[in-house]
Amino acid sequence: MLRRTFIALAAATTLSAPAYAAGHSMDIVDTAVGAGSFTTLVAAVEAAGLVDTLKGEGPFTVFAPTDEAFAALPEGTVEALLADPEALAAILTYHVVAGKVMSTDLSDGMMAATVNGAEITIGLGDSVMVNDATVVTADIEASNGVIHVIDKVIMPPM
């Protein structure tokens, strides 16, 4: 389950609008790879061994951080996580929810269990928030779920 979550997350960050068009024939991972703008997420999904999981049947909802979101982490964080697949998988799976959750399914204050086991909180106001991250692009559909692009890497409770 952790592998599926991580792959979904990686795919979500690489997605672009054209990659989602007409029929959603690509899974979350392929959609992310095709977008070309989620290289860090895709590399992390691969390093954590979650590609096969996220290419699985699903459905998955991935809150996918952009390359810029990963770049905003403290210096050395990404490299350290890539060297620690278990910690990386724990963070990546915190970005994945089982099932297909579209933006219209969200409500203010909603709690959602992640594949990681911890919960995230959804906030609806001037923008849609996932914990302290803002959803910058919502409802990118793939054959096995949906990706919502976020502007921060969210960290599970430790």
Beta carbons within 8 Å of 152's beta carbon, 6+ residues apart: 65, 69, 72, 132, 133, 134
Q: By CB neighbour count within 10 A (0-12 exposed, 13-18 middle, 19+ buried), where does 134 fall? A: middle
Q: Residue 60 and residue 52: Cα distance in Å, rounded?
A: 13
Tell whether pTM > 0.85: no
Q: Where are the domains of the chain?
A: 2-150
Which CATH class for the 2-150 domain?
A: mainly beta
Q: Residue 94 and residue 117: Cα distance in Å, rounded?
A: 8
Helices within 18-137 (DSSP H only)? 28-35, 39-47, 51-54, 67-71, 77-82, 85-93
> Which of 32, 5, 27 shows the shortest CA–CA distance to 94?
5
Q: What is the mean pLDDT of each run of 10 residues along the chain (158 residues)?
A: 36 37 74 83 94 93 95 95 95 96 95 96 95 94 93 93
Q: Let me know: does 128 contact 135? Beta carbons within 8 Å.
A: yes
